Amino acid sequence: MDSDYLKVKICGIRALDDALVAAEAGADYIGMVFVPERRRRVSPQDAKVIVDGVRGSGGVVPKMVGLFADQSAEEVCGIIDYCGLDLVQLCGEETVKYAGELGCDVIKVVHVAESATVDDDAGTVSRVKEFSGLGHLVTLDRLVEGFQGGTGQCFDWGVAASLSLAGHPFLLAGGLTPKNVAEAIITIAPWGVDVSSGVETDGNKDHGKIRQFLINARTAAGKSL
Q: How far is CA 186 from CA 8, 111, 167, 216, 223, in A?
A: 15, 22, 16, 11, 8
Whether 134 and 100 have beta carbons less than 8 Å apart is answered as yes
Averaged pLDDT score across all residues of the chain = 88
Domain assignment present for 108:
yes
pLDDT of residue 5: 84
pLDDT 10s digits, 90-103: 999 999 999 999 99
Q: Which CATH number goes with the domain that contains 127?
A: 3.20.20.70
Under the banding of pLDDT at 50, 70 and 90, the label for residue 146 is very low
Residue 75: CB atoms within 10 Å: 13
pLDDT 10s digits, 169-203: 899 998 899 999 999 999 999 999 999 999 999 99
Residue 148 predicted with pLDDT over 60: no
Catalytic positions are 11, 141
152 or 161, which is more confident? Answer: 161
d(CA 79, CA 82): 5
Averaged pLDDT for residues 39-48: 95
The 8-class DSSP code of residue 62 comes to P
Q: Which domain holds residue 108?
A: 7-224
pLDDT of residue 104: 93
What percent of the chain has a predicted confidence (pLDDT) above 70? Answer: 86
Residue 39 predicted with pLDDT over 90: no
Domain assignment present for 2:
no
91 or 121, which is more confident? Answer: 91
d(CA 168, CA 196): 23
d(CA 168, CA 121): 15
Domain assignment present for 198:
yes
List of residues 6+ apart from 147 with CB closer than 8 A:
none
Report the number of distinct structural domains present in the chain: 1
Domain assignment present for 39:
yes
Give, to the nearest 10 degrees, the angle between helix 73-83 and helix 44-55: 40
Residue 155 predicted with pLDDT over 80: no
Domain assignment present for 90:
yes
Domain assignment present for 1:
no
